[in-house]
Structure 1
Amino acid sequence: MIEEHATANWFSKPGDSIRAIMQRREIGAHDLAQCFRDGIETVRTLLDGSRRIDEETANTLSEALGASPKFWLKRQENFEAAVHRAVIQIQESGLEDVLLRLPAPGRKAGGRLSAERRIEEIRKRLVFYNVPNAESWTARYGRLVGETDYRTSKTFVAKEDATLLWLRRGELEADMVQTRVWNAGNLLDRLEAIRKLSMIRHPEAFLPKLRTLCAEAGVALVIVKAPEGCRASGAIRMVDPDKAMLLLSFRYKRDDQFWFTVFHEMGHLVLHKADTFVDDDAVPSDADREQEANEFAAECIIPPLRESEFERVPPKRDDILRFSVSIGIGAGLTVGQMQHRGMLGPDKLNYLKRTWDWAQINPVRV
């Protein structure tokens, strides 16, 4: 028996019930996807609330997860009624424009909206952010950039709306990843295995392994391409009390930058207990934690016990390859560290770094 707990100012997506059953029965997103014609995309949109449960979908859910088709159809009906009530309350409160200013997927800036379109856009934002009103959005996301650890280029100024969209999409993707309970010690125990993955050339070979190792420590590894204007390369955020998200954009598509970002974000998780943090030079109070995360990442790449040996590595191809193999990392990461420390010119031996394009990354992002 699945119980719903409804309040006057809240709504629960049918996807919440789907996710709860999946977790209880240890059914993965890809397992459920096999039951639908559109595969993983159907599961994704059911979980985020953007796909309506019709009769065919209700029958499939009943067969795959249990409960009757009637339950799933009623679940959808109750959800739509609750969202409609929330929209009416927002209209009556005079806060329509507040909601409409929030970033949402698929909405272009500018132009007048008809009354019908305004309702549609308000509904879209409530469902996308899973909040019933403007106050709830402010409490949960109003200071999102200031409450999230993320690496971003210092060369560009990130547009806040684009970053918010990227982070929220990451949260929705993290919903699809089953993990154990978050435990920093379990992540530390897996760092050596994670380091060795840097020696694997192709994302389709190392990403599934990286995702599994992270999930065993309670971390949902997700990959979302950054929208235009978002310059972030990685982020961490606690999406549930016992589940962390490690969000990657593959912004630089180069192995030295990618793995440094992975270890940097893991540093925040381990050292700072996933406390909120913004990688911004204008926030001096966070400079120490940023430096700590950088040092953690650097030590993941070059172990402290091998530091003196690393400092003596000649800036030559064969010497770099030998040293990289001896410490169990990809040669591109060694080159990146040598360049960062001034041991090698920024234009030297870059061919030892591996580069990828989004076509190689996208097929294995889930």
Structure 2
Amino acid sequence: MKRQENFDEAVTRAVERIRKNEDDDLVLSIPAPGSKPRGKMTDEKKAAEIRRRLVYFNVPTVGTWESRYGRLIGNTDFRTSNTYSSTDEDTLLWLRRGELESDMINTRPWNPGNLEDRLEAIRKLSRVRHPQSFLPKLRTLCAEAGVALVIVRPPTGCKASGAARMVDPDKAMILLSFRYRSDDQFWFTVFHEIGHLVLHKANTFLDGDETPFNDKEQEANEFAESCIIPGLRASEFERLTPDKDSVIRFSVSIGIAPGLTVGQMQHRDMIPKSKLNYLKRRWKWEEIDPALP
């Protein structure tokens, strides 16, 4: 109770400091969960809305929020634009929800080498059909390397497939949206985010259809591709004939689900996007939800 009292007092001081030194409209442009305030914005209501944003994002100042979140979406300069699109807001709220959920996951200290050591075990999980069977094992493997694996159903406007971020000095987070709910997209995103953590250290990455393509995104893509199709089998993969039996035999021989092979064949323009899709596994949220903590 004393800690709660101290926290409440600290938040009150932060709100008063912000109201004295900052532009209220700037602060209220920070997205917040729940419905937007209606009616006249009295001083009391403004203070409550500012408090809600500080508590949700766990920041004492606008500057702290800006440094942690303000430039994650594209190249937006929060203090100049003073606003975000609804899509950006949903993505930021999705990211913060992931951070809050990661706080409840116990992990060992972050160790990129330990994560790389578990890549083969993670690959094998792609062969498991049901999320209720493979997600708990995937979370455990990640936690052993210091990574909190979090899955949050995306808000309507959120276009992100995954994110990677250091949430504490000794704890990383991989946040997944299950946006496409197919095995090739899901596992590629898993390996892509692992690539960001292993290759790019403590930087924050949000990945989706509108993510600017740069060298680091290319490196993470190549990392994911090599996790799915091992380099020693690349030439054999490139000669693969686009028929069901050949794809299944090859997939079994390298230890992955056929859907991942099909996804890579489509991605590399070996076959049309419409071909062999029946080999992919697709899930409904009714199958995913029971697998979430």
What is the TM-score when the length of structure 2 is the normalising length? 0.89
Is it true that 1:326 corresponds to 2:253 in the alignment?
yes
2:53 to 106, 122, 125: 125
Q: Which residue of 2 aligns with 1:174?
A: 102
Q: Which has the larger radius of gyration?
A: 1
1:282 CA drift (Å)? 9.3
Match of 2:229 in 1: 302
Provide the C-alpha distance between the structure 2 equivalents of 1:283 and 1:254, rounded to a whole number of angstroms.
20
Deviations 1:118-170, CA, capped at 9 Å, x for gaps: 222111111101112222222332223369xxxxxxxxx98222211111111
Verify: 1:105 aligned to 2:33, yes or no. yes
Q: Secondary structure at the match of 1:159?
A: helix
State the partner residue of 1:227. Answer: 155
**Quick one: distance in 1 between partners of 2:52 and 2:204?**
27
Equivalenced residues, count: 284
Write the distance in 1 (CA, Å) between the matches of 2:135 and 2:210: 34
How many angstroms does 1:103 deviate by?
0.1
Deviation at 1:78, TM superposition (A): 1.8
Query: Within 5 Å, which residues of 2 pair with 1:236-251?
Result: 236-251=164-179
Which of 353, 359, 362 lines up with 2:286 in the alignment?
A: 359
Check the 8 A contact 1:126/1:133 in 2, yes or no.
yes
When residues 312 and 139 of structure 1 are mapped into structure 2, their CA distance, relative to the original with a 3 A threshold, is closer
2:42 maps to a residue whose letter is S
Partner of 1:209: 137
Tell me, in whole angstroms, the C-alpha distance in 2 between the residues paired with 1:129 and 1:352: 42
Q: For 2:214, what is the secondary structure of its paired residue?
A: helix
- Distance in 2, matches of 1:281 and 1:344, equals 21
CA contact (8 A) 1:146 1:278 kept: no
The 5-angstrom pairing of residues 1-366 of structure 1 reads 73-108=1-36, 111-145=39-73, 159-277=87-205, 287-366=214-293
Q: Per-residue displacement from partner, 1:276-311 (whole Å, max 9, x unpaired)?
A: 456599998x62221111111111111111112212
Q: 1:280 to 1:254 in 2, by over 3 A?
A: closer
* Mapped contact 2:74–2:211 kept (Cα < 8 A): no
Give, in whole Å, the separation in 2 of the partners of 1:346 and 1:110.
46
- Higher alpha-carbon deviation: 347-356 or 107-116: 107-116
CA distance in 1, matches of 2:63, 2:214: 31
Greater shift, 192-201 or 101-110, is seen at 101-110
The answer on whether the counterparts of 1:158 and 1:232 sit within 8 Å (CA) in structure 2 is no
In 2, Cα distance between the equivalents of 1:282 and 1:339? 20
User: Residues 160 and 208 of structure 2 are in contact (CA less than 8 Å); yes or no, is this contact kept in structure 1?
Assistant: no
Higher mean displacement: 265-274 or 217-226: 265-274
Change (3 A) 1:119 1:238: same
Structure 1 segments unaligned to the other structure (5+ residues): 1-72, 148-156
Aligned amino acid, residue 243 of structure 1 = K
Q: Is the 8 A contact 1:223 1:248 kept in 2?
A: yes
Aligned-partner Cα distance in 1 for 2:119–2:89? 33
Which has the larger displacement, 125-134 or 310-319?
310-319
Structure 1 residue 365 displacement after superposition: 2.5
1:75-113 C-alpha deviation (Å, 9 max, x unpaired): 222222222222222223353222211100003276533
Does the C-alpha gap of structure 1 residues 361 and 123 become closer, same or farther in structure 2, counting only changes over 3 Å? same
> The residue matched to 1:209 in structure 2 has which SS?
helix
User: 2:248 & 2:135 partners in 1: Cα distance?
Assistant: 23
In structure 2, the CA distance between the partners of 1:158 and 1:304, relative to structure 1 (3 Å rule), is: farther
User: Aligned partners of 2:131 and 2:208: how far apart in 1?
Assistant: 29
More deviation in 354-363 or 255-264?
354-363
- Whether the aligned pair in 2 keeps the contact of 1:211 and 1:221 (CA below 8 Å) is yes
Structure 2: runs of 5+ lacking an equivalent:
76-84
How far, CA to CA, are the matches of 1:113 and 1:292 in structure 2?
47
